[in-house]
């Protein structure tokens, strides 16, 4: 027995008990008292009777004053010549018993109606949460924003200029669909917005509706499918019917991958509810005339799993990439969000954009909010640049754990480890400059951190730059080896990242002489995976001998990078000692303090030239 059935049973049991209680308290107390005829005569002679109604068998009447809490009485008729005696005592006599049918009926019907109304109200509330009840289950649940009610225009969307340019054509078409096709062209039926999470795909779709000032139907792909078979297809039909009635209009389906996943992958593929819904969507896309002014927009961050039939020409025949903003785009996004914040004079959007590579629009909005909260927490009058720097560290490295106390030995190891990263980064050319070094624990497992600030957005990396990146990652482990003569578990994450880079160099980038210019592993990353070097599940397509060669090359690359890093730090042993002691004292060193330590060193930091 499911929860809903149990609820119905217990509700009606409680309602029946409540009805009985009502009858006992409010009806039984008002029932007519049954009295003997002799008592009736006695009460009549004493003048206690106000009025009576006489029938063939009963005498029913009302007392002048309630007797034993009862104001009405009834007795069996015995005396046939009663009328004369009644008139002698001034009692009003009628010829029929007063009907109590209506009163008795209401005493049962009214409580039942009340209980039924409560039950109906509760069921509507429950069914509303499940899709509007049985009568509304096939209706579309799209939210409709009429004309400019979306409250968003292209001015509210920043950092995606190319995507906005693509969609301005859609706006022009919606404003005047007839004249737009004067040369015989037609507007694409569907426009698919593709991009990582948080880049503003939904916001961009609302901006299109706000600019075009047309009805905007917004629905998520998951809202089409319910527990009942056929509901999704019915909702697709209803959605397009509503949109055609209000054309020109925009239909926006968010998270299309929840609905448009490639078919034929399940065990019961032909009867799967999602597939039936997708089939209906394909039929609707083929059926509507684009000249009527109906445009279908959709958004997804997983285009690689969409059904090919959904992406063919004539359906979603235009794909617009909404990517992470570059530095210029991040400045534009920050300017939009910073308008709502009271800023200190030292805040510079360009500097904030420089330290936030890879941040999406949602990340930048969260960054501004975090900085504002930090400034509020310290009771400042305005948000300063230091608040933004602290917010970046909080988002990237995690929350500070000052109450996580390390013993002196662990603090010393962490200090040398982090300074090893920093000094190698300073020594090598083409490496992002170090922004801050700290031994304050952050996040879940980070006992210290070294933050590097890129000077520009990078899209390609050479072999030398990858080797330098590996050297920086191995700097902490090399420093522990030089100073303490042993290794700790603190470099576990560094080793994972170094190994991934070395394996990518050997199997994907063809950067080893022994394996040659061959791509042994395909790039099976998701289309929108943020980390270029993120490990992915691989299906080996080469022999065991080649696999052994790959393992040897990976080990050789990593070992060579470690030996190189050890050599760099041994030349800077004095600087390493001095900087680690300073870090133990202050717990945090910024870029200026690091540069000062390097200048004070007896041995200046050598700038290695990569040949």
Helices 273-287 and 231-245, interaxial angle, to 10°?
Answer: 20
pLDDT in tens, 450-508: 877 776 667 788 889 899 999 999 999 999 999 888 888 888 888 999 999 999 998 88
Q: Give percent of the chain with pLDDT exceeding 90.
A: 8
Q: Which residue has the higher pLDDT, 493 or 291?
A: 493
Could you tell me the pLDDT band of residue 230, with boundaries at 50, 70 and 90? low
pLDDT higher than threshold 80 for residue 392: yes
For the question of whether the overall pTM of this predicted structure is more than 0.85, the answer is: no
The pLDDT tens digits of the residues spanning 401-431 come to 665 667 788 888 888 998 999 999 988 888 8
Higher pLDDT, 605 or 560: 560
Confidence bin at 131 (pLDDT 50/70/90): very low
Among the listed ranges 86-95, 238-247, 593-602, which one has the minimum average pLDDT value?
86-95
Q: How far apart are CA 281 and CA 271, in angstroms?
A: 16
- Minimum mean pLDDT range among 30-44, 79-93, 241-255: 79-93
pLDDT(373) > 80: yes
* Exposed e or buried b per residue across 318-350, where buried means at least 16 C-beta atoms within 10 angstroms of its C-beta: bbbebbbbebebbbbbbebbbeeeebeeebebe
pLDDT band at 400 (very low <50, low <70, confident <90, very high): low
Q: What is the pLDDT of residue 213?
A: 80
- Quick check: 594 pLDDT over 70? yes
Beta strands in 77-178 (DSSP E): 92-94, 143-145
Task: Please check whether residue 119 is in contact with residue 15, taking contact to mean a CB–CB distance below 8 angstroms.
Answer: yes
Of 85-89, 499-503, 605-609, the least confident: 605-609
Proportion of the chain above pLDDT 70, given as a percent: 73
Q: Is the peptide bond before 185 cis (omega within 30 degrees of 0)?
A: no
Average pLDDT in the chain: 77
- Average pLDDT in the 244-253 region? 82
Q: Which two tokens stand for residue 105?
A: 């009926």
> Cα–Cα distance between 396 and 364 in angstroms, integer?
12
CB contact at 8 A, 416 and 480: yes
pLDDT in tens, 94-112: 544 445 555 566 666 767 7
Residue 386's φ and ψ, nearest 5 degrees, are -60, -35
Active site annotation includes 418: yes
Alpha helices, H only, 272-348: 273-287, 308-311, 327-338
Question: Among 259-263, 287-291, 340-344, where is mean pLDDT lowest?
Answer: 287-291
Which residues are known binding-site members for ATP? Answer: 195-202
Query: How high is the pLDDT of residue 608?
Result: 46
Q: What pLDDT is attached to residue 563? A: 93
pLDDT at 564: 93
Binding residues: 195-202, 417, 421, 494
Taking only the tens place, the pLDDT of each residue in 309-346 is 888 877 887 888 888 888 888 888 888 888 888 888 88
Among the residue ranges 33-42, 70-79, 220-229, 562-571, the one predicted with the least confidence is: 220-229
Contact 239, 218 (CB under 8 A): no
What is the distance between the alpha carbons of residues 203 and 164, in angstroms, rounded to a whole number?
11
pLDDT at 532: 45
- Specify the pLDDT at position 78: 65
* Residue with the larger pLDDT of the pair 246 and 134: 246
Instruction: Look at 126 and 406; give whichever has higher pLDDT.
Output: 406
pLDDT in tens, 558-569: 999 999 999 999
The alpha carbon of residue 238 and the mean position of all alpha carbons in its chain are separated, in whole angstroms, by: 26
Looking at the predicted structure, is the pLDDT value of residue 83 above 80?
no
Which position among 166, 418, 480, 553 bears the catalytic label? 418
Q: Which domains are present in the chain?
A: 3-103 (3.30.720.210), 143-321 (3.40.50.300), 327-397 (1.10.8.60), 408-600 (1.20.58.760)
pLDDT grade, residue 77 (50/70/90)? confident
Range of lowest pLDDT (29-43, 118-132, 198-212, 330-344): 118-132
Q: What pLDDT score was predicted for residue 609? A: 38
Name which of 162-171, 369-378, 480-489 the model is least confident about: 162-171
């Amino acid at each position: 027995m499911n929860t809903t059935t149990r609820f119905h049973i217990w509700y009606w049991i409680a309602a029946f008990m409540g009805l009985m209680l009502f009858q006992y308290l409010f009806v039984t107390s008002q029932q007519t008292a049954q009295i003997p005829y002799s008592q009736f005569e006695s009460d009549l002679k004493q003048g206690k009777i106000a009025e009576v109604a006489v029938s063939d068998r009963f005498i029913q009447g009302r007392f002048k004053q309630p007797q034993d809490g009862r104001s009405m009485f009834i007795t069996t008729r015995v005396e046939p010549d009663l009328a004369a005696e009644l008139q002698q005592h001034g009692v009003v006599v009628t010829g029929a018993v007063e009907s109590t049918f209506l009163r008795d009926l209401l005493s049962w019907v009214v409580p039942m109606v009340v209980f039924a109304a409560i039950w109906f109200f509760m069921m509507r509330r429950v069914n509303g949460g499940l899709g509007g009840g049985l009568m509304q289950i096939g209706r579309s649940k799209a939210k409709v924003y009429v004309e400019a009610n979306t409250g968003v225009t292209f001015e509210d969307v920043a950092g995606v200029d190319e995507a906005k340019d693509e969609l301005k054509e859609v706006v022009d078409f919606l404003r005047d669909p007839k004249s737009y096709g004067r040369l015989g062209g037609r507007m694409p039926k569907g426009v698919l917005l593709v991009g990582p999470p948080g880049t503003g795909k939904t916001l961009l779709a609302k901006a299109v509706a706000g600019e075009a000032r047309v009805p905007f139907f917004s629905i998520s792909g998951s809202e089409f499918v319910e527990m009942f078979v056929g509901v999704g297809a019915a909702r697709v039909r209803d959605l397009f019917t509503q949109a055609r009635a209000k054309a020109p209009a925009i239909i926006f389906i968010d998270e299309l991958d929840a609905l448009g996943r490639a078919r034929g992958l399940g065990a019961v593929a032909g009867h799967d509810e999602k597939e039936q819904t997708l089939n209906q969507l394909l039929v609707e896309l083929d059926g509507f005339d684009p000249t009527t002014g109906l445009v279908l927009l959709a958004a997804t961050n997983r285009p690689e799993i969409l059904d090919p039939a959904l992406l063919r020409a004539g359906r979603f025949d235009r794909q617009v990439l909404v990517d992470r903003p570059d530095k210029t785009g991040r400045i534009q996004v920050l300017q939009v969000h910073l308008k709502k914040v009271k800023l200190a004079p030292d805040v510079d959007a360009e500097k904030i954009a420089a330290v936030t590579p890879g941040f999406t629009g949602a990340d930048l909005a969260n960054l501004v909010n975090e900085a504002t909260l930090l400034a509020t927490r310290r009771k400042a009058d305005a948000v300063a640049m230091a608040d933004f720097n602290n917010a970046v560290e909080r988002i990237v490295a995690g929350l500070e754990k000052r109450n996580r106390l390390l013993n002196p030995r662990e603090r010393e190891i962490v200090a040398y480890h982090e300074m090893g990263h920093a000094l190698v980064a300073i020594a090598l050319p083409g490496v992002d400059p170090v922004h801050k070094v700290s031994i304050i624990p952050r996040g879940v497992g980070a006992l210290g951190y070294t933050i590097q600030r890129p000077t520009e957005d990078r899209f390609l990396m050479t072999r030398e730059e990858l080797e330098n990146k590996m050297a920086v990652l191995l700097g902490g482990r090399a420093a522990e080896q030089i100073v303490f003569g042993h290794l700790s578990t603190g470099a576990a994450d560094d080793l994972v990242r170094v190994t991934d880079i070395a394996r990518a160099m050997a199997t994907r980038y063809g950067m080893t002489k022994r394996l040659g210019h061959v791509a042994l592993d395909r790039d099976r990353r998701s289309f929108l995976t943020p980390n270029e070097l993120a490990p992915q599940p691989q299906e080996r397509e080469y022999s065991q001998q080649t696999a052994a060669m790959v393992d040897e090359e990976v080990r050789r690359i990593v070992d060579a990078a470690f030996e190189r890093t050890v050599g760099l730090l041994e030349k800077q042993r004095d600087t390493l000692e001095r900087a680690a002691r300073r870090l133990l004292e202050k717990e945090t060193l910024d870029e200026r303090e690091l540069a000062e330590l390097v200048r004070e060193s007896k041995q200046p930091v050598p700038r290695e030239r990569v040949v």
